[in-house]
Amino acid sequence: MTDHWFEPLAEFMGPAYLRYSFTKGTTQEVDFLIETLSLTPGMRILDVGCGPGRHSHELARRGYVVHGIDISQTFIDLANAEDINGASFERLDARFMQFMNEFDLVICLCQGAFGLMTAQDEDSVVVQKMASALRPGGRLVLSAFSSYFVVKYFETAVFDADTGINHERTEIRNSTGSSEEVDLWTGCYTPRELRMMCRQAGLEIEQIFSVDPGSYRSEKPSIESSEFLVVAFSPLTKSVGPRVSEATDT
Ligand SMILES: C[S@@+](CC[C@H](N)C(=O)[O-])C[C@H]1O[C@@H](n2cnc3c(N)ncnc32)[C@H](O)[C@@H]1O
């Protein structure tokens, strides 16, 4: 399997990853997804770049059948450490996923395998693989960092206007309190790019929301939120649940 620059970071952080404030909103995020997409227990969900499995665990506890994949063995071990009926995990690189027509829903949240790439266009490969994993009528929920927000508010970071990658020197901590300075690369997007990428993968856009970690909400895209949350569907047959009506232009 191809190595990825995030793997040593995950190994260093281990369980301390779940101390970061951006991981604290899992219940709100899952509540929003269930309500907005009218999900029903028993649905099969693929969690791409699942990390230590916080969304997978929460969804499995509520009766969903979730398979989480992540490139980091450290995070997969942490996810497997919680024995929750309906949740399974596997180390896999999202760029090489082979799932076909298997899932009612694919989620890719908090830069899970999307936006942590090293080369241009790898994110679109991941979107294509996620589209293939969906059964006809299934849906994709994908969060992406906002280019607008980063340019407006991330004063200490360096935004590469050519690639859309935000470069940040930041400190990460492990469970013993030791810290390490690392280069964090985050691929950033606009709603327009996300629409084009999804359509290229054969998906149709249902809605794009402006959200923040722990504050998922039905808000039109703006430049004031850190992330965009895309809801798209595989159009071949009818959708899993009622569609969220498109409030913005596409
Ligand atoms: C910021 S974490 C988000 C984890 C989780 N989705 C969450 O919300 O906490 C990004 C995750 O994506 C994983 N990842 C990055 N590139 C990946 C790839 N190509 N395939 C699978 N996982 C990947 C990383 O190992 C990491 O666990």
4 touches ligand 1 (CB under 6 Å): yes
Predicted local confidence at residue 248, as pLDDT:
43
Distance separating alpha carbons of residues 70 and 76, to the nearest angstrom:
6
Predicted local confidence at residue 77, as pLDDT:
97
Distance separating alpha carbons of residues 132 and 81, to the nearest angstrom:
29
Distance 12 CA to ligand 1 centre (A): 14
Report CA dihedral (45, 48, 49, 53) to the nearest 10 degrees: 0
For ligand 1, pick from 6, 92, 98, 125 the residue to mutate: most ligand atoms within 8 Å of CB.
6
pLDDT digits (tens, 9 = 90+) for 224-246: 999 999 999 998 754 444 455 54
Distance 68 CA to ligand 1 centre (A): 10
Atom 4, ligand 1: which residue's CA is nearest?
51
Bridging pattern class, strands 165-173 and 103-108: unpaired
68 touches ligand 1 (CB under 6 Å): no
Predicted local confidence at residue 126, as pLDDT:
95
Predicted local confidence at residue 196, as pLDDT:
96
Helix/strand/coil for 139 = strand
Distance separating alpha carbons of residues 99 and 153, to the nearest angstrom:
38
Predicted local confidence at residue 185, as pLDDT:
86
Distance 134 CA to ligand 1 centre (A): 19
- This prediction has a pTM of 0.91
Predicted local confidence at residue 25, as pLDDT:
95
70 touches ligand 1 (CB under 6 Å): yes
Q: Which residues of the chain have pLDDT under 50?
A: 238-242, 246-250
Predicted local confidence at residue 119, as pLDDT:
63
Helix/strand/coil for 62 = coil
pLDDT digits (tens, 9 = 90+) for 66-89: 999 999 999 999 999 999 999 999
Superfamily of 7-146+190-234 according to CATH: Vaccinia Virus protein VP39 (3.40.50.150)
38: left (phi over 0), alpha (psi -120 to 50) or beta: left
Distance 70 CA to ligand 1 centre (A): 6
